[in-house]
Amino acid sequence: MPEQQPVHPTAHHPVHRVVEVPGGRIHCVEQGSGPLVLLVHGFPESWYSWRHQLPALADAGYRAVAIDVRGYGRSSAPAGVDAYRMLAHVADNTGVVAALGERTAVIVGHDWGSRIAADSALLRPDVFTAVGMLSVAYSPHGGPRPSEVFASMGGEEEFYVSYFQRPGRAEAEIEPDVRGWLAGMYTGLSGEENHGGLFFVPPGARMADRFPAGPLPAWLSEADLDVFAGEFERTGFTGALNRYRNMDRDWEDLAAWRGMPITQPSLFIGGAADASTTWLSDAIDAFPTTLPGLVSSHLLPDTGHWVQQEQPERVSGLLVDWLRTVAPVTA
């Protein structure tokens, strides 16, 4: 039988691979060739969140690589809660760049991936030459301990980050009906719904109790939901939720970077109908100070939290326009 030849990614052919990094293994989906653009998803998602951007960036002349963050998909899922601290995610991203044979990359993240991308750029400016942030605006480290801030929010109701803290608690709500829970979360934070109230959990209730009923949003097909649900049905949610359980550790680990801006060229894209954008409006207003290298900032109307999936062509176009200024493609 002839030896199978390796498959190389092209603009029309994505390739899955798992690369070794110091902290374990990271699953990557790669498409195209050219300057490296690392795409980092948020909660509760996967590399598949970038399914529209991979071919668009590849067609524009970039080597687009979407990862499964540790704890998700086919990437390593260490058992210890503290294995999901921000320093580990930054090390994973740095390790992926090296494993792909590159020395530098542009990094783009959404939701938690936005914060991971921002901190990757903050801690390793030698590796990450530009940073794009979707849905979650950058704010410098500092201020009170996060657990104290979250505990003070919501009055009698519990803020979702606090609800996620105790290992096993949120898992017990989510894992009996992964597909249904994801459908409610994706629908509830879409531009059509804008259910900011689902971030708060009344005493004795579940987060899902405030999820909207009804059809999936237009941007999410049943087949798309099957992909997301299939991954979490296999892996469970503990690895994903452990990111939230390290915010106080991050506050301690990153004390040396308190108040520091990100100086590399940057981009922000948010949804005007996203509660995260509303909560972080002060952070967006502070961009001239906190992101002195900001190239452009965009709030997309009638768009919720899942910006690159809700408005794929618009977001891909904005990314390509920005990339052409920060990482030009050479002929």
DSSP 178: H
Q: Listing from the earlier edge strand, what are the strands of the sheet with 63-67?
A: 15-21, 24-31, 63-67, 36-40, 105-110, 128-134, 266-271, 294-300
* Residue 30 one-letter amino acid: E
Structure-token pair, residue 200: 């708060």
DSSP 153: S
Distance of CA 286 to the CA centre of its chain: 22
| Residue 280, phi then psi, degrees to nearest 5 | -100, 25
The answer to whether 110 and 116 have CB atoms below 8 angstroms apart is no
Nearest to residue 120, comparing CAs of 60, 50, 64, 69?
69
Distance of CA 218 to the CA centre of its chain: 21
| Residue 33, phi then psi, degrees to nearest 5 | -140, 155
**Dist CA 164 CA 324 (whole Å):** 39
Alpha helices for the chain (secondary structure H): 53-59, 86-99, 112-123, 146-151, 160-163, 169-174, 178-188, 222-235, 238-242, 247-253, 275-279, 281-285, 287-290, 307-310, 312-326
* Residue 67 one-letter amino acid: I
* All residues at 6 or more sequence positions from 97 whose CB lies less than 8 Å from its CB, including other chains: 36, 38, 103, 104, 105, 127
Which of the residues are catalytic? 111, 305
Query: At how many degrees (to 10) do helices 178-188 and 222-235 cross?
Result: 130
